Amino acid sequence: MMNAATNQGQSAVPLDKFLALPDFEPAAKQVLPHPVYEYIASGAGNEITLIENERAYDRIRIWPRVLNDVRSVDTTVPLFGKMLSSPILLAPAAYQGAMHPSGELGTVRGAGRAGIPFVVSTNTTIPIEELIKEARAPLWFQLYTQNDRGYTSDLVQEVEASGCEAVCVTVDTPVLGIRTRQFRAGFQLPPGVSTPHNRRGGGAGGNIDPSLHSHLQWQDIDWLRSIVRSKLWVKGILHPDDADRAIKMGVDGIMVSNHGARNIDTIPATIDVLPAIHERVAGRVPVIVDGGIRRGTDVLKALMRGATAVMMGRPYLYALAVGGEDGVARCIELLTKELIYVLRLVGKASVKELDRSLEWPPVAS
């Protein structure tokens, strides 16, 4: 079992030894209790999609250009009239209090140092009111709805009142996924760690009641649209028809996600379905993609295939486990720096210039 002292941020390994995002996982595996590591690392079924989320990026070839003016590089992304400092966000992930004593506070501080948004999970172990006090960058809220509309409505009002700038409703989890590996590891929330915003999932760890979300349907998006005053994203879209329907209901943005490959195995990698969704969305709303982001080249590929921004998940959780706030900040710094270098190396001075002409072989039009 984890010795609580070992991951208080005083890691034996100095953070400057972490040179790329893949470095964090083996270090986190050393420091985390096995069930917690398994909770983060595992995917659904035989984990074919889990692997595919990364391999799909690996297969994409970037076709670089040379001799353009890349003396300065612009990574800012306009979004709803403001600017994100970079096209990178931190994806929602539950139970961070089981990963590091600082829990989501470490994450919000690390994100704040880089100035990038953090999407807080409904299953946060720290109340949103405490997180917002430490936030130096936008907080967004990931929403698991519950059968009780009153509870959901109260929750939305509460997080918006706290200052969350967006609500991202997860639509891909009517029941919990086929998480064989996670169930085998027997992950449970440690004593003293709870989920203040989830009445039912709190003490249950991975064993959430399967009936929890199965009610959520298209008409609920209409209802959510009527009560959400901040920006409303739907998270978990993989099909262009579903993206289109959600946009017609007035959502502000589409999150292309396969839930980190935790729900159904052998569904496509998100980066592979992105082009079809990008084409259907046709610029009406921004599109964010998550799943498999490990390198600056991955961010570049997502953007050249039409994403407005990306969300990174597991790497920052491993970094949190290894180094708390400092780990998260280091993780973001490495990915951002790689993106800036890669932009220069492919001859593009701005993320706004990225499109599929950067992909080899040329995509048939």
> Which active-site residues does the annotation give?
259
d(CA 245, CA 240): 9
How many Cβ atoms from other residues are within 10 Å of residue 161's Cβ?
12
**Does residue 364 interact with its own copies by CB under 8 A?**
no
Among the residue ranges 95-103, 171-179, 284-292, 308-316, the one whose residues contact its own copies (CB under 8 A): 171-179
The residue ranges of DSSP E strands in the chain, in sequence order, are 61-62, 77-79, 82-84, 88-90, 118-120, 139-143, 166-170, 231-237, 253-256, 287-290, 309-312, 359-360
- The secondary structure element, H or E, covering residue 62 is strand 61-62
Site string for its own copies, 265-304 (x = CB under 8 A): xxxx---xx---------------------xxx---x---
Minimal distance in Å, beta carbon 149 to its own copies? 15
- Per DSSP, the residues of 12-24 read SS-GGG--SGGGH
d(CA 362, CA 147): 47
First vs last C-alpha separation in the chain: 55
Among the residue ranges 34-42, 156-164, 308-316, 343-351, the one whose residues contact its own copies (CB under 8 A): 343-351
Residue number, 78 or 210, with CB nearest to its own copies:
210
**Does residue 136 interact with its own copies by CB under 8 A?**
no
Site string for its own copies, 35-74 (x = CB under 8 A): ----------xx-x--------xx-xxxxxxxxxxxx---
Minimal distance in Å, beta carbon 17 to its own copies? 8
Among the residue ranges 113-121, 213-221, 279-287, 322-330, the one whose residues contact its own copies (CB under 8 A): 213-221
DSSP state of 93: -
The residue ranges of DSSP E strands in 165-301, in sequence order, are 166-170, 231-237, 253-256, 287-290
182 neighbors 173 (Cβ within 8 angstroms)? no
Site string for its own copies, 11-30 (x = CB under 8 A): --------xx-x--------
Question: Which of 123, 54, 130 lies closest to 93, judged by CA?
Answer: 123
Among 149, 344, 352, 356, binds its own copies (CB under 8 A): 344
3-state DSSP helix/strand/coil percent for the chain, to nearest 5? 45, 15, 40
**Residues near 127 by beta carbon (within 8 Å), at least 6 away in sequence:** 196, 197
Residue number, 229 or 239, with CB nearest to its own copies:
239
Minimal distance in Å, beta carbon 260 to its own copies? 14
Q: Where does this chain bind its own copies (CB under 8 A)?
A: 19-20, 22, 45-46, 48, 57-58, 60-71, 171-178, 180, 183-184, 210, 214-218, 220-221, 234, 236-239, 241-242, 263-268, 272-273, 295-297, 301, 338, 341-342, 344-347, 360
